[in-house]
Amino acid sequence: MRIKKQFMAIIIAVILIASSVLAYTTYVSVQEDRVGYIGIEVDKKTFNSSEDVTFHLVSLTDNAKFNITDHWVDWGDEQYDGLDIIRVPDSEDPDTFLDDQNNLDYIHFQSSYYNTVGKAHFNYFNSEDGSLQVTWNRTIRWDGMVEGNWTVVYHPAVSGYYVVAPRISWRAEEDNHVFVIDEKAIFYYDSLDTNITATNVPNTNVTIELTLQAPPGAVGNIICDLNTTLYYEANPFEYMDEVTLYHNETGIVLTSDQDRVITIIFNVSVPDHGYETPFEDEYDDNYFSVLSFDIVLTTSIGDYISGFEAEWDGGWEYNCQY
């Protein structure tokens, strides 16, 4: 009888241990499957061109394990991962910019397909760090062909509202983290102004008004040269219908306390609601051609680039502004 009781006690002990191991294993599994939410918080709402732009990555979730390494992919001397610093289009209200799903799509689209963005890098961040300060060096990268060679150049950023947006290109072993982008990730950078106002008179011309001003605190006059390029795809159903136009000026004087306004009229015909397709009814949606406008300001304090890419459908819809 005593043997039977001892045997039953052993069985019960084994069951209890097995249950505990199973419960612990389940708990660990659940914890490992939890998603860690990471906030992005800028240290100030306004930065000027003489100071570093800093922000923090902050863990928002308790007990969720994650470990993120910013894998820098070296193509030559260039690094392609990291956090993107994307300019908010001037046409958007920065206070409500992130409330619109279309603008979240805009951020993802520009981060994925355009290289005219700022870059901020770090080594790693994990759930035990609490927070991590990251610094943006206030430059915008530009990729393109120069004299037949693919070139990457960094230019000082112009004034405007910017949002810190993580790329979806992290080589994490597990997808156990999510970045939260809200108003804390938006800031104003006060630098050289290159405000661009584009006005389309359908089927007639496009007028570009540039409002330029030297960075705050600049001493004396800044002399610069302006080079602009307007490219329009035009009617894709007409052979060789695209348009490329240029406008250049030299010896432009900028100060930090007064705007310099330059108005340029380009003779380019942009229809009010796109081009009708010549296809059957199932393909009868209008086609909207992309218009891009780029400026380069060559100054003694650096070469600034700015511009936009947009489509006109009774108003501008921006694909990219920088």
In this predicted model, what pLDDT tens digit does every residue of 192-230 receive, in sequence order? 999 999 999 999 999 999 999 999 988 889 999 999 999
The phi-psi region of residue 107 (left if phi > 0; otherwise alpha if psi is between -120 and 50; otherwise beta) is alpha
Q: Which of 145, 168, 190 is the last residue of a domain?
A: 190
| Buried residues in 160-193 as b, exposed as e (16+ CB within 10 A) | bbbbbbbbeeeeeeeebbebebeebbbbbbbbbb
Do 75 and 118 lie in one domain? The reply is: yes
Do 174 and 50 lie in one domain? The reply is: yes
Do 84 and 57 lie in one domain? The reply is: yes
Residues 311, 99: Cα–Cα separation, whole Å: 22
Do 250 and 293 lie in one domain? The reply is: yes
Do 44 and 179 lie in one domain? The reply is: yes
- 222 Cβ contact partners less than 8 Å away, ≥ 6 residues apart: 214, 253, 254, 255, 299, 300, 301
Do 88 and 225 lie in one domain? The reply is: no
| Buried residues in 247-286 as b, exposed as e (16+ CB within 10 A) | beeeebebebeeebeeebebebbbbeebbeeeeeeeeeee
Beta strands 186-190; 46-48: pairing state: parallel
Do 111 and 237 lie in one domain? The reply is: no
**Predicted local distance difference test score (pLDDT) of residue 80:** 52
Do 19 and 43 lie in one domain? The reply is: no
How many folded domains does the chain comprise? Answer: 3
Per-residue pLDDT tens, the chain, 322 aa: give them.
555 545 554 555 444 444 443 433 333 333 445 678 889 999 999 999 989 899 999 988 877 888 887 755 444 444 456 789 999 998 899 999 999 888 888 888 787 777 788 988 888 888 887 889 999 999 998 876 666 777 788 899 999 999 998 865 444 445 677 888 899 999 999 999 999 999 999 999 999 999 999 999 888 899 999 999 999 999 888 877 899 999 999 999 999 999 999 999 999 999 999 998 877 655 567 889 999 999 999 998 899 999 999 999 999 998 889 9
Q: Which of 138, 170, 190 is the last residue of a domain?
A: 190
**Predicted local distance difference test score (pLDDT) of residue 276:** 85
Do 131 and 96 lie in one domain? The reply is: yes
**Predicted local distance difference test score (pLDDT) of residue 8:** 53
Strand order, beta sheet including 290-299:
243-254, 222-232, 290-299, 302-312, 316-321
**Predicted local distance difference test score (pLDDT) of residue 27:** 35
Do 158 and 229 lie in one domain? The reply is: no
**Predicted local distance difference test score (pLDDT) of residue 41:** 96
Residues 55, 135: Cα–Cα separation, whole Å: 7
Do 17 and 112 lie in one domain? The reply is: no
CATH code of the domain containing 292 = 2.60.40.10
**Predicted local distance difference test score (pLDDT) of residue 171:** 43
The phi-psi region of residue 220 (left if phi > 0; otherwise alpha if psi is between -120 and 50; otherwise beta) is left
**Predicted local distance difference test score (pLDDT) of residue 170:** 43
Do 62 and 25 lie in one domain? The reply is: no
- 69 Cβ contact partners less than 8 Å away, ≥ 6 residues apart: 123, 124, 170, 171, 172
Which domain range does residue 149 map to? Answer: 36-190
User: Which residue carries 């990219």 as its tokens?
Assistant: 320
